[in-house]
Structure 1
Amino acid sequence: MTTITLLVEPPTRTMSFALNRKRSRLMLESDDEDDSRLVPAHALAGSSSSTGHLFNSNNNSSNAASLLSPTDSLKKTRTQGELDELDIIPAGEAWKVDLKSLLENVPMRPKPDGSLLQPHDNNARYQRGKSITVLCVQGALQLHYDLLCDALPELYSISPSLQAVVLCRDPSSHTPTNTIPFSLPLLQAVNPGNNSFVKLGLLHPLGGGHCPLDALVVIDAQGRRRLVLPFGWGAGRHAGTAGGKLVRDTLMSLLRSCVEALAREG
């Protein structure tokens, strides 16, 4: 009897998205499944120190490294490499975002309908053509919202007119957080004939055309997309895991550095 062996090429599960001149990849790989368990948001909300060091000098890094399996070491090295690739996008290479349409023509909700959260905004200091905007593009995660809210006092001290806004599918029913006592202004991203997730390059490939990839996006005063910080995917896919403190600290340090750089640009 003749034996016939069929060779079937396994489907690839790696998807790439161009974010900037150094690409951050959305990687859905089975070897990350063990690290995908999220810790509670309240355990992470205060874990990103805006002034702390990324590494604790009291830790014996060599001993810790020796306990890692080859697979863990490879994943850690790959994640660090992807974090190193994140950078501020040069003004000449940045996507243009229609901020006037986004911030001034679309009604903002101060908080979700029926929510007990206290509204918070910086609208009184908004200056068209001068204010930096941080968009919290929010789909399924709350972590980046909580981290942004924790960082706001320092960001305001760097750029007093900075605006922080949540971009979501449906502001009327959206819950930005369960741990922070206030709500940032909410903007509806998907309307007939308009999808801001698409315009930002953050439409989730499996979201049915109306769900985003979670991220913090920095828009400069001229409406250019200067930084994209991924959460739950790409370089930030481990940000919400128990071992993701380095990832969270690195992403928030990049946010602070970007706001500082844009403030110097004027």
Structure 2
Amino acid sequence: MDAAISRKRSRLALDNDNDDADWTPPLPSPAADSAGDTLKRSRTQSELEELAVIPPDEAWTVDVAGILASNTLAAPPGSRLRPHSNADRHCSGSILVLCVQGNVQLHYDLLCSMLPQLYSLSPSLQALVLCRDPSSHVPSAAATLSLPLVQAVGHGYNHFVRLGLLHPLGGGEHPLDALVVVDGRARRRLVLPFGWGAGKHAVTPAGRIVQAHLASLLTSCVETLARE
């Protein structure tokens, strides 16, 4: 009797061990995945909705004279890109769009593709690239033209710092990628982040909605400033 009971207990133990070895955690339900995606979309939409044109009395003053006086190249040395500048039309009081560029290329391509539309809103608008070192900078592998490359870090100055776009882990010389719109009175009126903040998803394969929203903000900002 005792031997039979022992054999039964041993068999039960083995069966339980095998069940544990074959057990796998249950897969999350589709409803849970959908809820997570909805939450992510809601957060992204909420962050994007916070981006807006900055009122004049709340805007930072930008050292436009210092930026325009900094070392500038029409195109990287040895580049086959066609230099493009609107300097002949740009004058004091004109809008400035700065492509602050570190490692992200998307906002450069986006700005270049939007230039005809932006010029139609503000013919004297000037677009510049702010980069750490123009002599070694590569704007974009897909680019067909080169906007003027401005050296943002030099002896005694750092335009990334003054724009509030210095990367906290960049060793004091690398920026947070963004498009910045400066009005005719040298005030920073719009900052569109790419790869961080509200624009962290813009550089992902699923970031087309974010890109479209940022492009719309850029257009509406230039349109607003042109009317001021």
Secondary structure, aligned partner of 2:72:
coil
In the alignment, the residues of structure 1 paired with residue 75 and residue 32 of structure 2 have an alpha-carbon distance, to the nearest angstrom, of: 46
Q: Structure 2: give runs of 5+ residues left out of the alignment.
A: 1-30
* Aligned pair partner of 2:111 in 148, 152, 155: 148
Match of 1:234 in 2: 197
Match of 1:263 in 2: 226
* Aligned pair partner of 1:109 in 66, 69, 73: 73
Match of 1:94 in 2: 59
TM-score (norm 1): 0.73
In the alignment, the residues of structure 2 paired with residue 207 and residue 70 of structure 1 have an alpha-carbon distance, to the nearest angstrom, of: 36
* Aligned pair partner of 2:142 in 167, 174, 179: 179
The structure that is helix-richer by fraction is 2
1:70, distance to aligned residue in structure 2 (A): 2.0
Encode CA deviations 1:146-205: one digit per residue, 9 max, x unaligned: 000000000000000000000000000100011121100000000121110000000001
1:67, distance to aligned residue in structure 2 (A): 9.5
Across the aligned residues of Structure 1 and Structure 2, the Cα RMSD in angstroms comes to 1.4
In the alignment, the residues of structure 1 paired with residue 116 and residue 158 of structure 2 have an alpha-carbon distance, to the nearest angstrom, of: 31
TM-score (norm 2): 0.85
Q: 1:160 to 1:67 in 2, by over 3 A?
A: farther
In the alignment, the residues of structure 2 paired with residue 256 and residue 110 of structure 1 have an alpha-carbon distance, to the nearest angstrom, of: 25
* Aligned pair partner of 2:208 in 234, 237, 245: 245
Q: Structure 1: give runs of 5+ residues left out of the alignment.
A: 1-65
Matches within 5 A, 1:126-165: 126-128=90-92, 130-165=93-128
Secondary structure, aligned partner of 2:120:
helix
1:68, distance to aligned residue in structure 2 (A): 5.2
Match of 2:165 in 1: 202
Give the residue type in structure 2 aligned to 1:74. Answer: L
Q: 1:249 to 1:68 in 2, by over 3 A?
A: farther
Encode CA deviations 1:240-264: one digit per residue, 9 max, x unaligned: 1111111000000000000000000
Match of 1:225 in 2: 188
- Percent identity for Structure 1 against Structure 2: 62
Contact 2:153 2:160 in 1 (8 A): yes
Runs of 4+ aligned structure 1 residues displaced above 4 Å come to none
Give the residue type in structure 2 aligned to 1:121. Answer: S
Secondary structure, aligned partner of 2:46:
helix
In the alignment, the residues of structure 2 paired with residue 68 and residue 262 of structure 1 have an alpha-carbon distance, to the nearest angstrom, of: 42
* Aligned pair partner of 1:123 in 65, 70, 87: 87
In the alignment, the residues of structure 2 paired with residue 72 and residue 138 of structure 1 have an alpha-carbon distance, to the nearest angstrom, of: 30
In the alignment, the residues of structure 2 paired with residue 170 and residue 102 of structure 1 have an alpha-carbon distance, to the nearest angstrom, of: 14
Give the residue type in structure 2 aligned to 1:190. Answer: V
In the alignment, the residues of structure 2 paired with residue 209 and residue 68 of structure 1 have an alpha-carbon distance, to the nearest angstrom, of: 40
Contact 2:70 2:152 in 1 (8 A): no
Contact 2:76 2:138 in 1 (8 A): yes
Structure of higher CA gyration radius: 2
